Every structure is written in structure tokens, then in C-alpha cells.
Chains A and B, each alone.
Chain A
Amino acid sequence: MDDMTAFTWMIVLPLLASPAIYLLGRLFKEDGARIARWAAVAALLITWVPFAVAASDLNEHGIQTYQHGSIMLRLDDLSLLLAALVLGLGTLVTVYSGPYMAAESDQEKYFALLVAMIGVMIGLGCAGDLFNLWVWFEGMAIASFFLVAFYREQAASLEAGIKYMVQSAVGSALVLMGIALVLAQTGTLDLVEIRNAARDSDMLLAAGALFTIGFGVKVAMVPMHTWLPDAHSQAPSGISAMLSGVVIEAGLVALLRSLGALTGVSDSWGTLLMIFGAFNMLLGNLMALRQTQVKRLLAYSSLSHMGYMLLGLGIALYAKETAGAQGSLFHMLNHGMMKGLAFLAAGGLLYTLHVSLGDHSPLTVSDLDGAAQKYPITALGLSLAVLGLGGLPPLAGFMSKWQIFVAGFETKETLIELLVLFAALNSVLSLAYYAPLVNALYRRKPSKAVQKGQPMPVLMTVPMVILSVAIVAVGVWPNLLDWLSGPAGDALLATFGF
């Protein structure tokens, strides 16, 4: 057993904090909810310390490992990127959730689960062997089920939770079968050792397919995406931001780790990801086009953005093109910020217009009418978020899409270039559903909902402001996040042995 180092503390701290938050919330009858909430914020803020140390360790000494019995943890730049994304958005969502959940009962469970989910996802990024990866993956799923179905009195919320759980479980079962096949064939579970041992075999090919589909459920690759619109729209808005901004991305990292181990088994992994990417982009956009519920619309938009990430990764694996991996991971960060902001802002309006009045009906596009008059910051934030998602400069989304597209054209292969053209046209199509949201927000005549809307709590506004500034900053200065996405892209290709 190795000594605990910064990066293991980064994983363990939130996991230890989670039960403590729950207990604090239960023990203090009067102020339990408030104490749990602030304990969660404190725990996450403290976790930034080992994160910073781990980042500098990684930078100076290279990949960090930790062995405890058969558990193997490995911190590389890809793990660090996921940790940064999870911790960053997680901290903001926790702050935001304070006022958002203030009127709900059992808040201590909400915050304990949220912090646990954050810790588990950081751990998932560091998993060094297949089984361990699966355990973290399941941990993430379990924490998120309860958070999706947190409004347990609401039928729609429960329905979404059940659908999510069943489909997720099907995926997990497939992954587990894949692991069994790998173990039977190679006799090891360590990702690096599998990569060295793996030879061309039908069994391992089948294992790769099982991983693709099994993890693909969580990644919401078409046609395994059907749980996502319900889950993302029914969850409390902070959780929607987490699901869309990091949970599906964590699933993607798990998928990449598992395929990285099987790199020698097939040359088709890249092609496969590109195909899924194309379907995700098109279906996500077309489904979003006719949506009238804002959170559902944003959920479908997540499908299409996952498509961009898959496209870039596919290009990276297919052509050993670093820019594709870097671009995709850059897009992962940007999407986390943009979609996080979009859900927080839409959730803010949902809260002030509906939830705070005890109404659990969904936020529709027509509810947004004239919201900018009363909620100028939220409206500006939502506008920046959706225009950035649509890929308009000078906002973050444009820059990462551009990097992915550059990778596509660097291959100089016509089919891939056509795929990039298809992706660009999809971006234009997406403007057709993002822009009307902005137009609605800036009407003069407020909707009925806005007229009786409550004031926006400050603690919900602060995370939106931070994310808005970040989106513009990265859009103006694209290299702001290169210290994360650049090495992470290299690390990803390294896990595939390129």
C-alpha cells in the first residue's frame, strides 16, 4: 500500500466529507439544511488544495500512481482535466443549489450525494484497472439516480429516474460482460497491461463492442440516448448542469479508457466514434428544433455537443491527430461551462418563475418572454451560453469547435472533411433553436410567469456571472485552458499507445 498523496486526497476528501455532511445535517435539527449546505461548499473548496498540489506534482514528476491491494489509481493529464471540470462545475453548482433547494426537505441527502458524486467522478478519471473503473462508474450512477429523482413526490421525476436507472443498469451489465471477456482473454485487468497483452481476437472485439455500448448509454450516444432528455430536464437544475456538463463526459472518459486498453484489437474505434458523432449531432439538433420546454431543449443540445466531442476523438484515433483529441477535450471543458451556465440560468428562471411558487411545471420558451427586464444578468448569461453553444465567436464554443475542425482538415481525407462540413452545417442548424431563446428573453412585454416571478437569489447569480465571464474570456483568448486540454489530449493518445 502506497502512501496517500495529493491526488488521492483529492479523491478521498469529498468521499469522506459526504457522510459527514449527511450526519451534520441530521444531527442539527434546527439549522441542519444550512449547515449541510455550507459544509458541502467548504469540503469542495478544501479539495481544491490537493487538486492544485496534484496538478503541480503531475507537471513536475509525470504520471502519479497509487496501489492499494488490487486497486490501482493513476493520475495522468486526462484525469486532471476531468477533475478540474468536475470540481469546477461541482463547486459552482453546490453554491447555486443552496438557495435553489432551500425549500426542499432532506437537503442533507442532496448535498451529501452531490459531494459524493463529485468525488466518485474524480476517482473515475484516475481508475487504473478495468474493474475499478466499473466500480467508480457504478458509484457515479448510483449517486446520480437519487439526485435525478430527488423530487420524489413528482411523478415525472420518478419516471425519469426509473428510466435512467434501468437503461444505465443495462449498460453496466454489458460493461461487466466485456470485462469478463477481457479478463478471460488476457488474464489481467490493469489497463496498461491489457494494452500490451491484447492481440487480435474475436472475444476482445466483442468486449470492445460491449464497452462502446455499455458506457455509451451513459455517454448518451444515439440510439442509447433515450434516457437523457427525461433525466436532464426532470432533475433539479443544479443536477441538470452536472449531468450534462460532467456526468456524460465522465462516461466518455470511461469509454476512452476501456477502448485505450483494446487499441490493438481493432483499427475501427476512431471510425466508430465518428459515426456515433454524426448521428448524435443530427438527432440532437433536429429533436431540439421542435422543443418548447427549455430544459428539454438544452438536454437535446447536449446530445449534439457530445457528437462534436465524439467527432474530434474519432478523428484523433483514426488519424493519430493530436489536435482532434485536444480539441475534443477543450470542447468538453467549454461545453461544461456553457451548458452548465445554460442549465443554471434556465434553472434560475425555473426557480424564480415556478419552483419558488410551489409550481413544478416545466419552463417553456414562452415563459422566457421579457425576462431580461427583471433578470438582466440571468438573461445575459443564458444568451451568452446558448450563443456560445451555437458556436458564435467570440465565445468559448467556437474556439473548441474550430480546433476539432482543424484536426479534421489536417487529415486531408475527403470523407472526414465532409463530416466536418456536416458538423459545421449542424452548428448553423442549431442557431435556429438557440436564437429564439435570446429573442424571447429580450422582449419588452413580459410573460405572465415573469410578471409574478420572485427575485433571483444572489448565491444563484454568482455562479452564473463566473461562468459568463469564463465563456467570454476563453472565447477571446482560446489558449486560456490549453494547460489542461493540451496535455490531456496527448495523455489520451498515449493511453491508446500512439
Chain B
Amino acid sequence: MTDILIILAIGLPWLGALAVWLVGNKRPEQQHLLAVIFAVAAGLAALLLIPSYSDAAELKIEVGSVFGDFTFVPDGLGVFLAAVATVVGSLAVIFSVDYMHGDAELGRYYALVLLFIGSMVGLVLTGSMLLLFIFWEMTALCSYALISFYNDDPKAVEGGIKALVITSLGGVGMMIGALIIYAYVGSYEISDFLADPEALPSGVLGVVAFGFLAAAAAKSAQVPFHTWLPGAMEAPSPISALIHAATMVNAGVYLLVRFYPAFEDVEGWTTAVILVGLLSGLLSALMALVAQDLKRALAYSTVSQLGYMVYAVGTGAIFASQFHLLSHAVFKALLFLSAGAVIHSVGTRDMRQMGGLGKQMPFMRNVFIVGALALAGLPILNGFWSKELVLEGGLEEGPVWAYAGMLIGAGITALYSFRMVWLVFFGEPRGTTHAHDAGQYMKLATGILAVGTFTTWLLAGVFGELLEDSLPYHHLEVETGTKIIEDVITAPATLVALGVVALGLLGWWFRKPLSGIAEALSPVGDAAANDFGFEAVNRQIVHWTKEAATALRATQTGYLNWNVVGIIGGLIAVLVILVLGA
């Protein structure tokens, strides 16, 4: 039964992709309907999978040769993330019924979305490193194709290719790691490796650990690989919500968590993980603070929140990181979708052109505020509980400097959250465009997510139990749900964090009297607006590569004489090599 559910959770979206494509773009109504049916069905299959979680391979397809077995292990981590992927996926598809209404080429759109959902489920459920890498790249492929869905827009094309190249570049780290593990362990099974990481000499294990970290950082848009995520905002908003907030970008964190038991003793690895999380959390919070584009602000915020998860992994707070992942997936999907509804309505992403939209779009205002408060970390929303857990874990196990940094980050998070809400929904209208209210499907999807933002923290106990039971190598000791809640409420760290959040709120409230401070800090703001120079480094690398390619064209002379010289030169070179080598 479990194996059938796994096949359904992965296969139904893929089947749906085929079906939507075959129906053809001449029948958009049927395409919408089919996409919703298949996405929701996959969601149900994934939810049914949760009770039958286990730590063994429930589905195994023997391939042989150097490809090993294709196995699927529905452990606690996997089934939970599969549920997130398919449920948020279904909601994004439902939202799309309104959002993409009247758009051309729905077949391509839905086929890619559904292909993505299935791949994401496969990514979190597979027990084979080769398959993990395959799904990893498949999600990157879907992400690329959907970012540049509007191919006529050069920015969309650039954003898509940039995302593809940077995540693939990081992916090389994981590929090398997987190949090394296979060479030493003789199997792609993750559990075989976790059972005995000592099979690798320590130096080699270090290469694997840092290779995986690079892959995770690229996928989860962490510093210094984060530059692709803002560019990815050219995608239709449901895609940003699904792929670039709730699911694919989490894959990096998932990877770190999955392999944590093997790498935790590698020298310098946990510190590096903490550092990556800290830099991402802090720097991109600053970037979110100065961003003028609503979706870019949310994108930087995603980088920052992923930084919190990465930081948590570094401090060993595995449960906290995954719990924050769950909360973030829900509230950030909510934020992106409601932002999408606003953008769809006013036709711009520039917050300077918005303002005062709350009266025209009261529903979206309300749900966006719910999401923003969760992001800021206000009780009793889900973001509050998980962020407190992350910070608490960091204070107990991690270095103090990192904790202090993350705490400051929490304050900035509150500040930019309120800024977004204010700039979009309150104050005087600055744009001339008239906003129409969101469609029914948009309200349905965001409404469900808003309810989730209020409630998913209640799952903490169940989630912890699942992880504890089915991750034998992680040695997790997770407390019961009520104990977790009690802990968070009574911990002094919570008060400190809440104080910082309140500071952030006050900072926004008294922004006029505090403008002197803002002015003094303006060089920081300018640096943040320029992406702290990371973007410039990117551009320089692309420039050099292009220059090298251009320069090399001189070698294709088009003169036959030179061509024959090449042959003779080759002969001489080979002779020299052979004589020296032989």
C-alpha cells in the first residue's frame, strides 16, 4: 500500500502534466480543471502517506550497472516535505486558475508545474543519492523553464538561465560528493552511507561535506550563491510561491539535514554552515529592507529565512530547522500568493507605485498581514514558534556571535515586514491604477494558507515524533508538542527575541523621528541595494567567460594552411607526450 501511495504522489502530477499537455491550449477550461484535479489528488496521496511512514525502503526498482537501485524511503522527513510540496502545490495550482486566466500556453505552464510537483516529491522521498541528484536537477529544469515562462521578456530569460546555471554549478558539488561516496561505499543508498561514514577517509569525507554544502547553498539561494533568486522573481507569482518560497529552495536545507549525521564531525563544517546561514540571514534581511520591488523584497526575505534554517542545522537544531521550514513554507507561500494577487490587480511590482490598496483589496490585505506577522515572528502565528525554537537552539548549542547576529536579523525582519505591509496597503495611494478585488480561487488558496499560518505549529509534536521515529542516524530527541510550547513560552530567549521584534516594529513606527539614524546608516543601505557586490562578481565572471570565448574565435582562422598546421602541431605534441611518458 505504501509503495502505491509513493507511486501516486510522484506519478499523479506527472500523469497530469501529460494530460494537460495532450488536451491542448485550445481548451483552457479543461486544462485548469485537469491541473487542479491531478494536483489535489497528489496532495491527498501525500497526506495519506504520512501515517504509513517508515525508515525502510518501501519501493525499490532494480536498475543495476552503475545506476544501483532506485529506492524510496517514506521516513518522517520525507513524508512531511512531500505533503508540503503537494499541498502548497495544489494551492498554487488553484490560485493559478485565476492568476493565469486568459494567458496563452497554459499547457506548457501547467505541465511544468505538475512535473515540478512530482519531482519535488521524488526528491524528498528517494533513498538513492543518484535519484536524489536526478530529481534535484529536474526541479532546477522546471524552475528554469517556469522563471522564463514569458520568454519574450529578456529579463525573464536571463533570470531563468541564471537560476539554471547557478544551481547546476552548486549541483556539481553534490554530484562529486555522491560519486565519491559511491566509489567508497559501493552503493547509492543514503542509509548505507549514514550507517558508516567512516568508510571514507577523513579528508575525502571533508570534500563530500563541503561539496554538499555548496550544492545546498546554491539551491537554497544562500550567500554567495543567492543572486539567482531575485532574478527568479520574473516567474508568474504562483511559481514564486511554490518553487521559490515553499518547496525547491528548501531542498538545500533538506540536503543538509538529511546528511547531517555523516558530516557533523567534519572539522569546520558546522561552523561553515552557521556562517553561511548567518551571512544569508543578515545580509539579505538588509537587502529586503531597501528593496522597492515587492517580489524582490519577498525573495530576499526568503533567502534570509532560509538562512535561519541553515543556521539551525549548523547548531545541530535539526528539528527546529525543519519546523521553521514547515512554517516558512506556509506563510511565505501565503505572502507570495497574496502579493501576486495584488500585482495581478495593479499591474506593477514596484511598491512605490502602490499604497492604500487595503481599502480596495481588504481580503488580500488581511491575509497578507497574517503572513507578514508570522514572518516577523509575532505570537501565536506559526513563524513565532519555529523562529523561537531556532534561536533557542542557537543560544544553547551555537556560538554567541552567531546568535547575536541572528537576533539582529530578527529585528530587521520585523522592520521590513511592517514596511512591506505599510507601503502596499496603507498610506496614500501613489499609483494611478485602479485595483480590482482578487478572484474567488485566489481567495480560496490564500485563505487556506492563512488558516495554516495560524495552526501548523500545532503539528509540532506529531512532526517531532515522526522525525524521531524514522531517522535512526540523527539520534533526535524531540519533546512532546505541549512541552515544546511550554518551553518556548517560558524560555528567557523568547522574551529577548520578542523585544527585538518589538524594536523592529517601533523602528518602523517612529521612522520619521529616527530618520537621522537612517541617514547615518545610508551607506549600508546603498550597499544592500547593490546586493553587497555579489551581483557585480557574477557579472564579472560572465563577462570574462564571454571574453575568453570571443578571443578563442581567432583560432578558427578559416585558412586551410593553418588548419593543416594544427594537424602537424598535434602530431608533434603527441610525439613529445609519448616519448616523455613512455
Are A205 and B560 neighbours in the complex by a CB distance under 8 Å?
Answer: no
Q: How long is the Cα–Cα vector from A49 to B199 in the complex, in angstroms?
A: 51
* CB of A38 closer than 8 Å to a CB of B: no
Of residues 375 through 421 on chain A, the ones whose CB sits less than 8 Å from some CB of chain B are 387, 392-394, 398-399, 402-403, 405-410, 412, 417, 420-421
- Given A387-B141, A399-B67, A435-B164: A227 touches B563 (CB 8 Å cut-off): yes
Q: Could you say which of A205, A393, A424 contacts B134, with CB atoms under 8 Å apart?
A: A393
* CB of B578 closer than 8 Å to a CB of A: yes
Are B556 and A226 neighbours in the complex by a CB distance under 8 Å?
Answer: yes
* CB of B160 closer than 8 Å to a CB of A: yes
Chain B residues, CB < 8 A from A206: 575
Q: Could you say which of A393, A398, A409 contacts B182, with CB atoms under 8 Å apart?
A: A409
Are B172 and A442 neighbours in the complex by a CB distance under 8 Å?
Answer: no
Closest Cβ–Cβ distance, residue B160 to chain A (whole Å)? 7
Are A444 and B570 neighbours in the complex by a CB distance under 8 Å?
Answer: no
Q: Which residue of B lies closest to A266 (CB)?
A: B582
Q: Which residue of A lies closest to B104 (CB)?
A: A444
Are B134 and A398 neighbours in the complex by a CB distance under 8 Å?
Answer: yes
Closest Cβ–Cβ distance, residue A158 to chain B (whole Å)? 13
Chain B residues, CB < 8 A from A431: 161, 164-165, 168
Name which of A9-17, A110-118, A135-143, A281-289 contacts chain B: A281-289
* CB of A445 closer than 8 Å to a CB of B: yes
Chain B residues, CB < 8 A from A327: 66
Q: Which residue of B lies closest to A290 (CB)?
A: B549
Q: Could you say which of B151, B179, B552 contacts A444, with CB atoms under 8 Å apart?
A: B151
Closest Cβ–Cβ distance, residue B568 to chain A (whole Å)? 8
Q: How large is the interface on A (under 10, 10 to 19, 20 to 34, 35 or more residues)?
A: 35 or more
Q: Which residue of A lies closest to B134 (CB)?
A: A393
Are B175 and A424 neighbours in the complex by a CB distance under 8 Å?
Answer: yes
Q: How many residues of B contact A (CB 8 A)?
A: 62
Of residues 113 through 145 on chain B, the ones whose CB sits less than 8 Å from some CB of chain A are 130, 133-134, 137-138, 140-141, 144-145
Q: Could you say which of B63, B134, B152, B574 contacts A209, with CB atoms under 8 Å apart?
A: B574
Closest Cβ–Cβ distance, residue A307 to chain B (whole Å)? 15
Are B552 and A283 neighbours in the complex by a CB distance under 8 Å?
Answer: yes
Interface residues as binary, B290-320 with A (CB distance below 8 Å gives 1, 0 otherwise): 0000000000000000000000000000000
Q: How long is the Cα–Cα vector from A486 to B571 in the complex, in angstroms?
A: 32
Q: Could you say which of B65, B150, B176 contacts A424, with CB atoms under 8 Å apart?
A: B176
- Given A227-B563, A268-B582: A221 touches B570 (CB 8 Å cut-off): yes
Are B569 and A394 neighbours in the complex by a CB distance under 8 Å?
Answer: no
Name which of A59-67, A165-173, A356-364 contacts chain B: A165-173
- Given A205-B582, A287-B556, A435-B160: A482 touches B168 (CB 8 Å cut-off): no
Q: Could you say which of A167, A265, A405 contacts B175, with CB atoms under 8 Å apart?
A: A405
Q: Could you say which of B148, B164, B574 contacts A213, with CB atoms under 8 Å apart?
A: B574
Chain A residues, CB < 8 A from B548: 286
Give the residue among B133, B151, B171 with the most A Cβ atoms within 10 A.
B151
Chain B residues, CB < 8 A from A392: 137-138, 140-141
Of residues 205 through 254 on chain A, the ones whose CB sits less than 8 Å from some CB of chain B are 205-206, 208-210, 212-213, 216-217, 221, 223-227, 229
Q: How long is the Cα–Cα vector from A424 to B569 in the complex, in angstroms?
A: 28
Q: How long is the Cα–Cα vector from A221 to B571 in the complex, in angstroms?
A: 11
Chain A residues, CB < 8 A from B134: 393-394, 398
Closest Cβ–Cβ distance, residue B107 to chain A (whole Å)? 9
Are A443 and B152 neighbours in the complex by a CB distance under 8 Å?
Answer: yes
Of residues 535 through 582 on chain B, the ones whose CB sits less than 8 Å from some CB of chain A are 545-546, 548-550, 552-553, 555-557, 560, 562-564, 566-567, 569-571, 574-575, 577-579, 581-582
Q: Which residue of A lies closest to B182 (CB)?
A: A406
Are A420 and B179 neighbours in the complex by a CB distance under 8 Å?
Answer: yes
Are A479 and B65 neighbours in the complex by a CB distance under 8 Å?
Answer: yes
Q: How long is the Cα–Cα vector from A206 to B569 in the complex, in angstroms?
A: 15
Q: Which residue of B lies closest to A424 (CB)?
A: B172
Are A166 and B564 neighbours in the complex by a CB distance under 8 Å?
Answer: yes
- Given A439-B151, A440-B151: A432 touches B567 (CB 8 Å cut-off): no
Q: Which residue of A lies closest to B561 (CB)?
A: A166
* CB of A320 closer than 8 Å to a CB of B: no
Q: Which residue of B lies closest to A441 (CB)?
A: B151
Are B63 and A479 neighbours in the complex by a CB distance under 8 Å?
Answer: yes
Chain A residues, CB < 8 A from B151: 439-440, 442-444
Are B560 and A266 neighbours in the complex by a CB distance under 8 Å?
Answer: no
- Given A409-B179, A412-B183, A439-B157: A209 touches B581 (CB 8 Å cut-off): no
Q: How long is the Cα–Cα vector from A289 to B556 in the complex, in angstroms?
A: 14
Are A266 and B67 neighbours in the complex by a CB distance under 8 Å?
Answer: no
* CB of A183 closer than 8 Å to a CB of B: no
Chain A residues, CB < 8 A from B549: 286-287, 289-290
Q: Which residue of A lies closest to B551 (CB)?
A: A286
Q: How long is the Cα–Cα vector from A205 to B579 in the complex, in angstroms?
A: 8
Q: How long is the Cα–Cα vector from A429 to B172 in the complex, in angstroms?
A: 12
Q: When A and B form their complex, what is the total count of cross-chain residue pairs whose Cβ atoms lie within 8 Å?
A: 184
* CB of A54 closer than 8 Å to a CB of B: no
* CB of B169 closer than 8 Å to a CB of A: yes
Are A289 and B152 neighbours in the complex by a CB distance under 8 Å?
Answer: no
Chain B residues, CB < 8 A from A409: 176, 179-180, 182-183
Chain A residues, CB < 8 A from B582: 200, 205, 265-268
Are B148 and A439 neighbours in the complex by a CB distance under 8 Å?
Answer: yes
Are A429 and B164 neighbours in the complex by a CB distance under 8 Å?
Answer: no
Give the residue among B105, B108, B179, B183 with the most A Cβ atoms within 10 A.
B179
* CB of B102 closer than 8 Å to a CB of A: no
Are B108 and A266 neighbours in the complex by a CB distance under 8 Å?
Answer: no
Q: How long is the Cα–Cα vector from A478 to B61 in the complex, in angstroms?
A: 12
Interface residues as binary, A172-196 with B (CB distance below 8 Å gives 1, 0 otherwise): 0010000000000000000000000
- Given A275-B577, A444-B104: A166 touches B560 (CB 8 Å cut-off): yes
* CB of B64 closer than 8 Å to a CB of A: yes
* CB of A103 closer than 8 Å to a CB of B: no
Q: How long is the Cα–Cα vector from A398 to B178 in the complex, in angstroms?
A: 15
Q: How long is the Cα–Cα vector from A387 to B144 in the complex, in angstroms?
A: 12
Are B567 and A171 neighbours in the complex by a CB distance under 8 Å?
Answer: yes
Q: Which residue of B lies closest to A387 (CB)?
A: B141
Give the residue among B66, B160, B182, B577 with the most A Cβ atoms within 10 A.
B66
Chain A residues, CB < 8 A from B148: 439
Are A268 and B152 neighbours in the complex by a CB distance under 8 Å?
Answer: no
Q: How long is the Cα–Cα vector from A229 to B134 in the complex, in angstroms?
A: 32
Q: How long is the Cα–Cα vector from A440 to B138 in the complex, in angstroms?
A: 21
Chain B residues, CB < 8 A from A486: 65
Chain A residues, CB < 8 A from B137: 392-393, 398
Are A287 and B569 neighbours in the complex by a CB distance under 8 Å?
Answer: no
Are A268 and B578 neighbours in the complex by a CB distance under 8 Å?
Answer: yes
Are B66 and A406 neighbours in the complex by a CB distance under 8 Å?
Answer: yes
* CB of A272 closer than 8 Å to a CB of B: yes
* CB of A425 closer than 8 Å to a CB of B: yes
* CB of A436 closer than 8 Å to a CB of B: yes
* CB of A74 closer than 8 Å to a CB of B: no
Q: How long is the Cα–Cα vector from A170 to B574 in the complex, in angstroms?
A: 16
Q: How long is the Cα–Cα vector from A323 to B63 in the complex, in angstroms?
A: 15
- Given A287-B556, A442-B108: A425 touches B545 (CB 8 Å cut-off): no
Chain B residues, CB < 8 A from A412: 183
Closest Cβ–Cβ distance, residue A408 to chain B (whole Å)? 8
Closest Cβ–Cβ distance, residue B117 to chain A (whole Å)? 15
Chain B residues, CB < 8 A from A209: 571, 574-575, 578
Q: How long is the Cα–Cα vector from A479 to B130 in the complex, in angstroms?
A: 14
- Given A223-B569, A289-B545: A266 touches B578 (CB 8 Å cut-off): yes
CB pairs A–B below 8 angstroms (19 shown): A163-B563, A170-B564, A170-B567, A174-B567, A213-B571, A217-B567, A224-B570, A283-B555, A287-B556, A289-B545, A417-B180, A421-B176, A425-B172, A432-B545, A444-B104, A444-B150, A478-B67, A479-B65, A479-B67
Top 9 A-B pairs, shortest CB-CB distance: A268-B581, A223-B566, A409-B179, A393-B134, A289-B549, A226-B563, A409-B183, A286-B549, A213-B571
Extra inter-chain contacts (18) besides given A272-B581, A286-B552, CB under 8 Å: A163-B563, A170-B567, A200-B582, A213-B570, A223-B566, A224-B566, A271-B577, A289-B546, A290-B546, A392-B140, A393-B133, A402-B67, A417-B180, A424-B176, A431-B161, A436-B157, A442-B105, A486-B65
